[in-house]
Amino acid sequence: MTERGKGSAGRAAAANAEAKASAKPREDTRLVPPIGQGALLARTLRAARSLRMHHALLLSGSPGCGKSVVARWIAGALLCPSDLDNEQPCGVCRACRRVQTGQHPDLHVLAPESGKREIRVDAVRSVLDSLLHHSVEGRARVVVIDPASALNPEGQNALLKTLEEPGVNTFLLLCASSPEAMLPTVRSRAERIGVRRLSDEAIARELQSRIPGRAAFFSRAVAGCRGSLGLAIEACTEQAVQLHDLVAGICEGNKPLRPVAVVREALALGDGPGSAQSVARGMLRAMRDVASANLRALARAESGSYPPAESQPWTDLMTLALCAEQDLEVQIPPEQALVGLLVQWSRRRRSGISR
């Protein structure tokens, strides 16, 4: 082939690749509205649109209930320049889309670095320094801290001056599943908004809309998510399904349990060396779900009561799973926490059977 032919072929290939790329659907970056919230959020959004909102909000609620979604929606209401709606952000303008992707120049998001549990005080101070300057687009400056409970006492104390004197059109949105773990001096300076759990019907609709291909797992996900859409979606992932099946298998019958082998099989489902914590938490959720399902089945069979002998293994499993969660919080290695749980549960279960 001549050089000219090669050049023509190269240009044709490039044009073909460009055409294919343009034919692919673009990722939808519209700002996602929260669902299932009430009048308090509606009032907050109206205040945000007019920039008359309280300068600091503490968004509280159970893990996975949608605090992050609510925070982004409020941030959008503060930063959206559209004057077509004084009730909520438009969700589709350039500013709203950049809020959704975290790329708006006047939106600052504080979160733990990958693999870390705490938000560094240096990161807090860096954001606070940026608030000393005027907003880039002129409407407001917004800081989202998610989760705010990841701030250590030094980081929380660094926020106090800004919480007391935030500056013109400066707003802080703090997301926390455990607000009581934060300093009283921080909590007292923020207006608290509870993010509601969703009904089973609302969660089922959202699952059908978002992940219709995982419908086989919806019923179990809805039953175990405790009103949290985030947890319901997570329960339908391949890893969560595998963990649930593994836990269900060790809970069936009275065969001898091999704790170390079971835990290592579970941890092997992770996608890297830093995944042990998340896999361990997923396994603990599966244990609680299996225990709850067995307790519900016993209650149905006994017209609402829990027969003590039959229910004891499942109440024990629930209690031990909560203790293991606390072990993870204080940095006990995941394998050690899970093996300890299974050893204790197996011992208690054998003792109950022998009686």
In tens, the pLDDT along 317-345 reads 999 999 999 999 888 999 999 999 999 99
In this predicted structure, what is the pLDDT of residue 308? Answer: 67
Q: Do 68 and 134 reside in the same domain of the chain?
A: yes
Give pLDDT tens digits for 2-46.
444 444 444 444 444 444 444 343 457 899 899 989 899 999 999
**Does residue 203 belong to any structural domain of this protein?**
no
Q: Looking at 207-325, which runs of residues are DSSP E strands? A: none
| One domain for residues 317 and 188 | no
pLDDT band at 56 (very low <50, low <70, confident <90, very high): very high
Kindly state the tokens that stand for 44. Answer: 């907050």
State how far the Cα of 308 lies from the Cα of 300, in Å rounded to an integer. Answer: 14
Same domain, 176 and 243: no
Residues 163 and 278 in one domain: no
- Asked if the structure places residue 327 within a domain, the reply is yes
Q: Which residue has 């299996």 as its token pair? A: 290
**Is the residue at 276 inside a domain?**
yes
- CA distances 307 to 291, 293, 295, 313, Å, are 14, 15, 9, 11
In which domain, by residue range, is 85 found? 39-194
The number of distinct structural domains making up the chain is: 2
